Amino acid sequence: MGKIIDGKAVSADVKARIAIETAELKKQGIEVGLAVVIVGNDPASKVYVRNKKLACEAVGFNSYEYALGEDTTEEQLLELVDKLNSDPKINGILVQLPLPKGLDDKVIINNIRPEKDVDAFHPVNVGKIMIGDYSFLPCTPAGVMELIASTGTEIEGKECVVIGRSNIVGKPMAMLLLHKSGTVTVCHSRTKNLKEVCSRADILVSAVGRAKMITADYIKEGAVVIDVGMNRDENGKLCGDVDFASCEPKASYITPVPGGVGPMTIAMLMQNTLTAAKQQNGLI
């Protein structure tokens, strides 16, 4: 029977640690500031932004929200990013994706100063992750690494399978496991014998976005199973990529959805913002 990895508890530990460090910085006259920019009226984006604001309050950061209309031009958005780049009160800048049609997220991300890019999406930060000399990590893969660490599982020498090759999760996830000396396979929509590849994994990370696609026959007995998926099942209920009910008995550890990876993403955003503040103040 798999032990459930409680993302809420692990993220609470991370945020508690950040709150202590933030309080210490305040004693030195240093305040931490995160700017979140949201363009348009996407309901899911609004929820994420609200959660980020609450997390900032919980750890003692100053939160700056910039809500722009659906009709915002690329020029106007770049102007705001430029202003935030130059503002010493702002240590981290996050532009909530997806952006409305007509706005190129690549152009916007490339204009955020790498040292304030707390999503770690800027090509400079992506390159640093590739060579293993990074300051920030993309929040979801970083959160997954914290969850694996919380189980006491050693990654070195283990067969690790990542399903999904997105720039936000799949690719950086593979690099982080590789940096810990895992033997990593990245699977995707063109992978042949997916079930066979997954069933060799000591550590399986699924970030494919298909409800309950991973069933028990994909899972090796005793595997650590991390479910990054956030989907709705046939009844409209929130679920992951992994069919939890069938996979949990075979796994040694498994994350639930909700309450697994989700809470970690925001916790790691807070960690990146704290790191940015310390760097910008010459503390690291």
Is 104 one of the catalytic residues?
no
Nearest to 49 by CA among 69, 34, 33: 34
- Looking at the structure, do residues 98 and 163 belong to the same domain, yes or no? no
- Looking at the structure, do residues 155 and 100 belong to the same domain, yes or no? no
* Amino acid, single-letter form, for residue 168: I
Decide if 156 is inside a domain: yes
Decide if 240 is inside a domain: yes
Catalytic residue among 96, 220, 227, 280: 96
Q: Is residue 264 within a helix (H) or strand (E), and if so which, with residue range?
A: helix 261-280
- Looking at the structure, do residues 191 and 257 belong to the same domain, yes or no? yes
Catalytic residue among 117, 119, 202, 243: 119
- Domain containing residue 203: CATH number: 3.40.50.720
C-alpha to C-alpha distances, 24 to 20, 55, 66, nearest whole angstrom: 6, 18, 28
- Looking at the structure, do residues 107 and 161 belong to the same domain, yes or no? no
Q: Count the domains in the chain.
A: 2
Decide if 200 is inside a domain: yes
**What's the whole-number average pLDDT of the chain?**
96
Which neighbouring-strand residues pair with 276? none
Domain span at 247:
139-262
**CA-based R_g, the chain, Å:** 19
Catalytic residue among 52, 116, 180, 212: 52
- Parts of the chain with a pLDDT under 50: none
Sort 244 into a burial class: Cβ within 10 Å, 0-12 / 13-18 / 19+: buried
* pLDDT tens column, 249-282: 999 999 999 999 999 999 999 999 999 999 999 9
- Looking at the structure, do residues 158 and 245 belong to the same domain, yes or no? yes
Phi and psi (nearest 5°) for 214? -90, 110
Decide if 20 is inside a domain: no
Which neighbouring-strand residues pair with 162? 186, 205
- Looking at the structure, do residues 87 and 162 belong to the same domain, yes or no? no
Tokens of 56: 């900032």
- Looking at the structure, do residues 94 and 152 belong to the same domain, yes or no? no
Tokens of 82: 């430029």
Nearest to 68 by CA among 34, 91, 92, 35: 35
Q: Which pLDDT score, from 0 to 100, does residue 47 have?
A: 87
- Looking at the structure, do residues 86 and 151 belong to the same domain, yes or no? no
Decide if 22 is inside a domain: no
Is 128 one of the catalytic residues?
no
Helix axes 139-150, 7-27, angle to 10 degrees: 110
Decide if 133 is inside a domain: no
Torsional class of 259: left (φ above 0), alpha (ψ -120 to 50), beta (otherwise): left
Up-side HSE of residue 7: CA atoms within 13 Å toward CB?
A: 23
- Looking at the structure, do residues 183 and 86 belong to the same domain, yes or no? no
- Looking at the structure, do residues 86 and 156 belong to the same domain, yes or no? no
- Looking at the structure, do residues 85 and 184 belong to the same domain, yes or no? no
Q: Which pLDDT score, from 0 to 100, does residue 284 have?
A: 85
Is 192 one of the catalytic residues?
no
Tokens of 114: 């790498």
- Looking at the structure, do residues 42 and 153 belong to the same domain, yes or no? no
Q: Of the residues 115, 147, 182, which one is the last residue of a structural domain?
A: 115
Q: Which pLDDT score, from 0 to 100, does residue 218 have?
A: 98
Integer Cα distance of 252 and 261 in angstroms: 17
- Domain containing residue 106: CATH number: 3.40.50.10860
